[in-house]
Chain A
Amino acid sequence: MYRDFGTILVAAILGIIMVAVPLFLQSLVAPSKKTKEKLETYECGEVSEGSAWLQFNIRFYVIALIFLIFDVEVVFLFPWAVVFKDLGLLAMVEMSIFLVILIIGLAYVWIKSDLDWVKRKVKYAAGRYERIQIKENT
Chain B
Amino acid sequence: MTNLQSLSFYYPELILTVVILAAIIYDLTLDKSQSGKVGWLLVVGLIGVALAIVFQENKVTTLFSDAIVLDPFASFFKLIVILATIFVSIVSLQSGELKAYRKGEYFTLLGIITFGLFLMVSTVDLILVYLSIEIVSIMSFVLAGYLKQNTRSNEAGLKYVVYGAFSSGIMLFGLSYIYGLTGSTNYFEIQHALAGLDSEANTAIVMAMILMIAGFGYKISAVPFHFWTPDVYEGAPTTITAYLSVAPKAGAFALMIRFFNQVLADGGGMGGLDSSSIATLPWPEIFSLLAIITMTLGNLVAIQQNSIKRMLAYSSVAHAGYMLLAMPVMSGDSMYAIMMYLVMYLFMNLGAFFVVITVQNKTGGETFDDYKGLGWEMPMIGIVMTIFMVSLTGLPPTAGFIGKFYIFASLIKGGNEFYWLVMIGGINSVISLFYYLRVVKVMYFEGESHEKIVQPPTVMAALLLATAIPTVLLGVYWTPIADWVQRSLVFFIQTL
Contacts and interface: CB of A to CB of B under 8 A. Distances in A.
A77 interface: no
A124 B455 CA distance: 34
Interface stretch (A31-39, A41-49, A51-59, A104-112): A104-112
B28 interface: yes
Interface string B73-107: 00000000000000000000000000011100000
A5 interface: yes
A1 B102 contact: no
Contacts of A124: 30-32
A104 B180 contact: no
Contacts of B201: 2
Given A101-B21, A128-B102, A5 B180 contact: yes
A126 interface: yes
A12 interface: no
B31 A104 contact: no
Contacts of A5: 180
A109 B30 CA distance: 15
- Majority secondary structure, A binding face: helix
Contacts of B183: 1
B181 A108 contact: no
B32 A128 contact: yes
Interface string B206-217: 000000000000
Contacts of B409: none
A127 B100 contact: yes
What's the interface size class on A, roughly?
Answer: 10 to 19
B32 A1 contact: no
Interface string A70-113: 00000000000000000000100000000001001001100100
A4 interface: yes
A69 interface: no
Given A2-B204, A5-B180, A125 B32 contact: yes
B25 interface: yes
B277 interface: no
A4 B204 CA distance: 13
A104 B23 CA distance: 11
B29 to A, nearest CB: 9
A107 B28 contact: yes
Contacts of B28: 107-108, 111
A108 B27 CA distance: 9
A101 B112 CA distance: 14
B182 interface: yes
B208 to A, nearest CB: 10
Nearest to A112: B28
A69 to B, nearest CB: 14
Q: Which among B28, B181, B197 has the greatest number of chain A C-beta atoms within 10 A?
A: B28
Interface string B23-50: 0110010111000000000000000000
A104 B25 contact: yes
Nearest to B200: A2
Contacts of B180: 1-2, 4-5
B193 interface: yes
Nearest to B100: A127
A5 to B, nearest CB: 6
A111 B29 CA distance: 10
A1 B24 contact: no
A61 B7 CA distance: 36
Contacts of B4: 90
A1 B21 contact: no
A104 B21 contact: yes
Contacts of A4: 180
Nearest to B181: A2
Contacts of B30: 124
A101 B193 CA distance: 39
Contacts of B31: 124
Nearest to A128: B102
A88 B92 CA distance: 46
A125 B101 CA distance: 10
B100 A1 contact: no
A126 B102 CA distance: 11
Contacts of A104: 21, 24-25
B193 A1 contact: yes
Q: Kindly name the residue among A111, A124, A125 whose own CB sees the greatest number of chain B CB atoms within 10 A.
A: A124
A126 B35 CA distance: 13
B493 to A, nearest CB: 23
Nearest to A110: B28
Nearest to A111: B28
Interface string A1-39: 110110000000000000000000000000000000000
A126 B32 CA distance: 8
A1 B179 CA distance: 10
Contacts of A128: 32, 101-102
A105 to B, nearest CB: 8
Contacts of B101: 128
Interface in A116-136: 124-128
Contacts of A107: 25, 28
Closest 5 A/B residue pairs (Cβ)? A124-B31, A2-B181, A111-B28, A124-B32, A1-B183
16 contacts: A1-B182, A1-B183, A1-B193, A2-B197, A2-B204, A4-B180, A101-B21, A104-B21, A104-B24, A107-B25, A108-B24, A108-B28, A124-B30, A127-B32, A127-B100, A127-B102
Interface of A: 1-2, 4-5, 90, 101, 104, 107-108, 111, 124-128
